[in-house]
Structure 1
C-alpha cells in the first residue's frame, strides 16, 4: 500500500469513527480565562469538571472547550501555574454555555495542582508528530538543552567531547543540517555560531518542541528531518531567574534571565537573557595509544585531555510594548555572543591536536511585531526581521604532531591543514519572516508564510591574503500556505499545506589573466526551485484516545558551510544539490487519570525516503550527496505520575537507516558495494528511563526535595560500512549504558534552589560520535534563585 492510499483509507476510517461518535459529548461548555491584573489571556490553564475525568487546557488565546454528554449541575475548577485556583458551579440547560474565568496571581506555586493535560501534552495531541518537553523539572539541574533532548523519543545527540564540543543532532535518523533550531519560532543561528543547544542553559527555556519529519508552514523552514523550537517565558509578569553551577573538569555555568516593567499594568517591558560557560574539559582518555621509546612500539595508556579549554558567553536585551491598539507585541532587540575553543582532536581520537584554536563572535539586531484582528476580525499578522554578523577564526600554525601524553614531534605541515593557516570566515546575514493567517470561522482558517534568508560567505587565510577575492552568496526563499479545518467540535482536525523552496547562489571563479597578469574573475549565478506539499490529520476517538497521521514531500536546501566549507576541516563542494524526502508518520496517544494516578502513552511508526542525502565524508573532508537513503522505524513512550510524590517514564526508539543507492553515481552501471547496508556511525536502537520521587513540605513549609534517576542505553553499531569488512574485523561503537542521578531541594516556594548531580555514576567508557570518548564520572552542584 502506498502512502497516499494509506492516508485515503485512514481518512475514510476517521469519517466512519466520526459518524459513530458525533452524538457523544453534544453539550458544550466554553469560555475564556484571563488574568485579573491586566486582562491578558492565560494559555495552558487546566479546566476540570469536579468528580469526573472531563477537562481541557486553554489555548494560546486563553479559550477552552469542555464537552459533556448530559445536562445537569456541574462545578468547573480552573488552575494555572502562578495563579490561584477558581471554581464556578453552573446548571447546564442549553447546548452551548459560555463561562469565563478571571484568575488572581498566586504566591505558592506548589499549591497549584494540574488535574488536566499540560500544555506539552496538548501539543502532543496535535496532528503533527511532536515531542513537547516542559523544562520545569530540569530547572535546578546543570543540564543544557542537548542533554534534555537526548532523553526524548526519536532524538539522538552525539557529541565529540565535553562542554562546547561539536555534536550531531538527529531526529528519526535524519541529522546534521536536516534539523533546524528555533528560538520562539525564529532561527537560532541568526544569533551566531555561539548559540548552539549545548551552550544554552535549560533555564532559558520554558518548553522545548520537536517536530518530526513533517513541519508546519509557520516556521518557514526547509527542515527535512524536523525542527527544535525553544519556547521562552512569554508572560508579561516580572521575574528574575539567576543560577550558577560548578562541576568536574573545572566546569562553570551561569545564567541570568529577567523581565522588568514599571508596574503590573504598564505596557512597557524589558527582557534580558544571558549565559556564561567555561570548562577545562581535562577528563581522562582511557586506553589511548602513545609511542613508547623504550619498547619502541605503541602502547595503550590513560591520559588527561590537555588542550580542550572552552569558553562562551551570550547577552541579549529586548525592549518594547504589549497590548497596544496598534500592536499586540512590538519589540526591538540586540544581542552579542562569542566563544573561544581549544581543539583537542579531529573526527577521530587518533588525530590529536595541541595548538589549534577556534573562536568566534557575533552581533545581532532584530525587530518583531505581532497584531491579531488586524483591520478585520480573524486577520492576524506576525513579522520578524534581523540583521546579523557572524565571524569565525581558526588558528592552525603549529608544525607539530602531538600525542596524548602532550609530547610532540616536528612536522612538515600544521595539525589540520596542508599549510599554516589563520582562517577568517565572516557571514553577514539578513533575515525576514512574514506570517499572515486568517480565521474564516472556528472551523476553517488559512495561513501564509514567507521567509527570506540571505547569507554572504567570505573566507580566506589571513597569512596570505587581506580579503576573500571570490566571496559567495546564498539566498533562500521559502513560501508556505496552509489550510486548517476541524469537524465535530474539534475532534477531527486536518491541515493541508504546500511549500516553495528557492535557493540562489553566487560564486566567483577565475576566468583568465589579463595582459598585465592580473586575475579576471567570472561571477556565476544559479537559482533552483523545488515544490513540496503535505497533510496532517488527527481524530480524537475519546477525550483520552486519539490517532493521527502526517505526510510531507520535503526539501532541505544547502547550507553555507556545506557548500563553501568552514575554512579548516570542511572543504567546499559547489556541486551539492538540495536534499528531498518523502516523510510519513502515523501513531496514537492515550492518557487517563484515576484519582491521583496519571498515565500517558504514545507510539508511532515513521518512514523517511531521502534522495540526494547530504552526508559528511571524512576521507574527502566535504559534504556529498548520497542518492538515496531509506529510514523506517518505530518509537514509543510511557509515563506515570502519582500526585507530586513519585513518577517515571520509559521511551524506546528503533530506526533502520539503509543506503538505497544501487550505483556509484547517476548514469553509472557500476554497483555501489554499500547498497542495502546500514548507514554507519548511526545507532539503530536506544532507550531512556527516568524515575523520580519527591516530597513537598518535608523540610519546612514551601519546600520540596526530589531525587531523579536517569538511565540511557544505546545499542552497538558499526563505525564504517558493513561491506568493507566482516563482523570480526569491522570496528564497532560498543553498547552504552549510562546512569545519572540528580538530587534537588527548593525552599520558600521555589525561590531558593540547590541541585547536586552525578553523571555516568558507574564511570563507564562512554563513546559517541566516531567513537570519540566522552567524559567519565562527573559531579556538579547548582545554585538557583527565582522570583516572580
Structure 2
C-alpha cells in the first residue's frame, strides 16, 4: 500500500513530465474532440478568472466541473492555497476555517452576499450541495464592502446557479457509513422571461459510524486497567438535514431589474458523540434545530442616467435549537453502559439532566449602491444591519450549565462602508480605497461568583464604535504579469454563538472583546502562454497579520466543554505559492503549498508575570500544508459520452495541539503528519442528460485528525447519479 501511495504521490505532484506527450496526443485527436466551448461556459470561467486578477488577494472557483462529484464544499475549499478546513468528524460535524492563520468566525461565509451564519446549521458549507453553485469567491484579507461584513481574515461567497433557461436537475448519492445525499434544482420562467421561479433543495443523512482508535479512545478491562488501541465504531453521531431556497419574482421591468420574494428553510437532527476531545464519549445526547427566513430583494441598475446601481436585501429569520441530555446512562467507546445512575452526560461530574431550547430572532438588512462617475472612477456605498435576540429555557430546569443561557440576550450590529475604485486609461493600474464604521451593542449574562461565596447571574454589557479601512491595488507592468498589494486595519465583532454558546458543548462567553487586525498581502502573478493549447499560471503571495484580542475556541476543559476566549496579541506571517497548468482546456494540474508562522506575542500574562508561552506557535494550528490535483475534464469517450477524472493529494505537517513550551518536545501531544489521497471519475451521457460519478476519499484509509485529535472518517466510497433536463416546462 505504501508503494502504491508513493506512485500516486508522484503522479499527482509531477504530471508536468507528461506535458509534451499529452500535447501531441491531443493535437492528433482534434477530429474526435470538441474544440469549441459554448459562450456561456467561457463567460462562466471568465468570472472566476477575473476575481483572481482583481486587486484583492482572491481566488475564484468555477463549480461546473465539480458538480458531478459527491463533493462537499469543505473539500473544495481545503484544496486552495492559504486555506485549511478542519472538521470534528464526518458529514454535518462542526468545521472551522483558517485563512493565513486567522480562524473561526474571522472568516465570514455568504450565500449570494447573505451571511451564512444567520441561515441555520443545515446551511453550513459542509451541507450545501455542489450542484447548487455557480462558483465560489474566496477573499484572503481585504473584502469588498458590498459583502457588508466585519470579516477579519477573509470572506467566502457561495454564488448559487443563475440559470436563466428552464431546467430541472436531480442528483442522488450514496456512500460509506450509510451516507445519502439528494439535491433538486429547478428554474422556470414565462415566455417573455419576466416572471420566474427558482428552487434549490437538498437532503443529507449519514450514520457517521466510522471506526476510531488511538489517543482518547479506550475502555477499561475487567481488571480496571485501561485498554487502548482497540477500534470502535461511532454510535451516536448520525446526522440528518434538509434545506431549501425558494424564490419567485420579476425580471427586466422598467422599474426593477429584479424583484424577488424568497424563503430559506431548513432543519437538522444529529447525535452528539464527543466533547471537545475524544476523551469524552456521549451515547444519548441529541441536538436538533429548525430555521426559516422569508426575504425580499430588489435590484435596479443604470439609474441616474445609467450611472447608479442599487441592490437591497432584507430578511427576518427564526431559529429554534434544542439540546436533549436526559440519559441516566454513561457510555464507553464500546457503546456499553458503564454507569446506569448518572444525571445526564454533558459536563462530567457536574452533569444534570436538561432539555435546553433556545429561540433566536434575527432581522437583517443590506443596502449596496454603486455610482459610476466615469469609465475609470466609481464609488460604492454599503450598509449592513443585524438585530439578534436569544431567549432560552430548560424544560427540566435543573442543569447549572443552562442557567445563564436561559436569560434573554441580544446583540445589534451596524456596519457602514464606502469605497472608491479607480483605473487608469489603459486599465493596467486599478486601486480600491475603502472605509468602514462598525457599531456593536450586546447584552448578555454570566453565572459566576460575585464577591462572595454565592454564585449569581451578572449582567454584561458591551457598546463599541470602531473604525476600519483598507487599500488594494493591482498593476499590470507587462502582458501576462500582475503585481498586487492590499492592506487593511480590520475589525471583527463577536458573533452570537461566541457570546451565547451553542447549547451543547460550547458555553457562553459574555466578556469577549472585538478582534482587531492589521493585515498585509503582496503577490506576484505570471502567466506563461506557450501556444493556444498550453498555458501555465503561477503566483506567489506573502501575508502578514498583527492581531489583537483574537477570538478563538479554547481548549476543552475537564468536563468536555469549552468557551471562546480572547488572545491578546497574535502575529501571523508566511507565504503561499501556486501553479496551474492547462492543456487544451481538458487536462489540468494544480500544485499549491502554504507556510504560516502563527505565534503568541503576548509578553505578560494577565497576572503581570512573564508569559511562559510567549513566541510559541499558536496551539492546534497547522503551519505547513500542500495540495496537488491532476484532472481530466470532458474527454470525449464516444459520440455523446464524456469522461472526467481526478486525483488529489494533500500533505499536512504535524503540529502541536498544546503550547509547545508547556511540554517535552519529544512527548508533547501533537496531531501527526498526514498524507491523504482522493480519486474519482465521472461519465456523462450527453444525449440522456445523465452523469454517473464514482468517488473515493481517503483512498488508503489513513487515520486522519484535525482539532485536538478529533478523528475524521476513514476511506469513503460513493456513487452519484445526476439527471439534467433542459426546457422541461
- Which residue number in structure 1 is paired with residue 29 of structure 2? none
Distance 1:419 1:486, change over 3 A: same
Structure 1: 5+ residue runs without aligned partners? 1-77, 84-111, 512-519
Q: How does 1:19-58 map to 2 (within 5 A)?
A: none
Q: For 1:471 and 1:671, how far apart are their aligned partners in 2?
A: 39
**Counterpart among 705, 711, 727 of residue 665 in structure 2:** 727
Question: For residues 514 and 43 of structure 2, what CA distance do their matches in structure 1 show?
Answer: 46
1:133-282 correspondence to structure 2 within 5 Å: 133-263=61-191, 265-282=192-209
1:588 matched to 2:516? no
Q: Which runs of 5+ in 2 are unaligned?
A: 1-34, 449-455
1:447 aligns to 2:385 (yes or no): no
Q: Which residue of 2 aligns with 1:403?
A: 332
Counterparts of residues 373-392 of structure 1 (less than 5 Å):
373-392=302-321
Alignment-derived partner of residue 584 in structure 2: 643
Tell me the SS of whatever aligns to 2:302.
coil
* Structure 1 residue 738 corresponds to structure 2 residue 676: yes
Map of 1:300-339 to 2, 5 A cutoff?
Answer: 300-339=229-268
Say whether 1:627 aligns with 2:564.
Answer: no
- Using the size of structure 1 for normalisation, the TM-score is 0.82
Distance 1:117 1:600 in 2: 15
RCO comparison, higher one (Cα < 8 Å, 6+): 2
CA distance in 2, matches of 1:297, 1:413: 24
Aligned to 2:346: 416
- How far apart in 2 are the matches of 1:296 and 1:191? 47
Partner of 1:689: 628
Q: 1:169, CA displacement in angstroms?
A: 1.0
Q: 1:268 & 1:671 partners in 2: Cα distance? A: 67
1:252-307 CA distance string (max 9 Å, x none): 001111110122x3201100010000001111113431111157443331111111
Could you tell me which residue of structure 2 aligns to residue 503 of structure 1? 440
Q: Partners in 2 of 1:702 and 1:226 — Cα distance?
A: 42
Confirm or deny: 8 A CA contact 1:644 1:695 kept in the other structure: no
* Alpha-carbon spacing, 1:351–1:369, altered in 2? closer, same or farther (3 Å): same
Q: Which residue of 1 aligns with 2:14?
A: none
Aligned-partner Cα distance in 2 for 1:220–1:372: 19
Could you tell me which of 500, 505, 512 is aligned with 1:576? 512
Which piece of structure 1 moves more, 466-475 or 753-762? 466-475
Structure 2 Cα separation of the partners of residues 735 and 587 of structure 1:
29
Please state if 1:602 is matched with 2:539: yes
- 1:703 touches 1:750 (CA, 8 Å); kept in 2? no
1:338-373 CA distance string (max 9 Å, x none): 000011111111211101011101011000011012
Instruction: List per-residue Cα deviations over 1:403-431 (Å, max 9, x = no partner).
Output: 11111222544211321111111110000
SS in 1 for 2:122: coil
Cα offset, 1:463, TM superposition: 1.0
Alignment of 1:351-362 (within 5 A): 351-362=280-291
Cα distance, 1:567 vs structure 2: 2.4
Partner SS, residue 426 of structure 2: coil
Aligned residues, how many?
A: 671
2:612 maps to which residue?
A: 673
Q: Secondary structure at the match of 2:433?
A: strand
C-alpha separation between the residues in 2 aligned to 1:577 and 1:522?
17
Residue 481 of structure 1 aligns with which residue?
Answer: 418
Asked whether the 8 Å contact 2:362–2:387 carries over to 1, the reply is: yes
Question: Aligned partners of 2:686, 2:178: CA distance in 1, in Å?
Answer: 30
2: CA distance, partners of 1:396 / 1:349: 18
Deviations 1:607-632 (A, max 9, x none): 11110111222346211111101000
Point out the more displaced range, 400-409 or 754-763. 400-409
| Aligned-pair CA distance for 1:742 | 0.4
CA 1:538/1:724 → structure 2, altered by over 3 Å: closer, same or farther? same
Q: Is the radius of gyration larger for structure 1 or structure 2?
A: 1
Residues 734, 391 of structure 1: alpha-carbon distance in 2 compared, 3 angstrom cutoff: same
1:787 to 714, 725, 729: 725
Point out the more displaced range, 232-241 or 344-353. 232-241
Q: Which residue does 1:69 correspond to in 2?
A: none
Contact 2:61–2:135 at 8 Å: present in 1 too? yes
> For 2:229, what is the secondary structure of its paired residue?
strand
Given the alignment, which residue of 589, 599, 602 partners 1:661? 602
Report the Cα distance in structure 2 between the residues aligned to 1:377 and 1:295, rounded to whole angstroms. Answer: 79
Structure with higher helix content: 2
* Other-structure match for 1:62: none
1:523 and 1:631 map into 2 onto residues whose CA distance is 35
Residue 556 of structure 1 pairs with residue 492 of structure 2: yes
Partners of 1:542 and 1:116 in 2: CA distance: 26
